Amino acid sequence: MKSLFYNPSYFNSSRVEAEVLDWYEMSEAERFAQSQKLWEVFVLLEGDYDPEPDTQSPFHVFET
């Protein structure tokens, strides 16, 4: 099943990198599986799930 956003003229242009083209040619299930692999690498590299605090947010509580 092709994606609803598939546009052959866009993908045939030289502006699109091969890696991006490969990603869009995958099915949704294949992309999900590849995304899961990326999360495994993220965790192995000791990635942090918590975002950095946003000091500009009105909900940010400053500790004194």
Q: Kindly list the domain boundaries of the chain, sorted by start residue.
A: 1-64
Rg (CA), the chain: 19
> Cβ-count burial of 31 within 10 angstroms (0-12 exposed, 13-18 middle, 19+ buried)?
middle
Q: Are 23 and 31 in contact (CB under 8 A)?
A: yes
Percentage of the chain modeled with pLDDT above 90: 19
**Pairwise CA distance, residues 49 & 42, whole Å:** 9
pLDDT of residue 37 exceeding 60, the answer is yes
Q: Sorting pLDDT into bands at 50, 70 and 90, what band is 29?
A: very high
pLDDT of residue 51 exceeding 80, the answer is no
pLDDT of residue 6 exceeding 90, the answer is no
Q: Measured at the alpha carbon of residue 41, what is the angle toward residues 29 and 54, in degrees to the nearest 5? A: 100
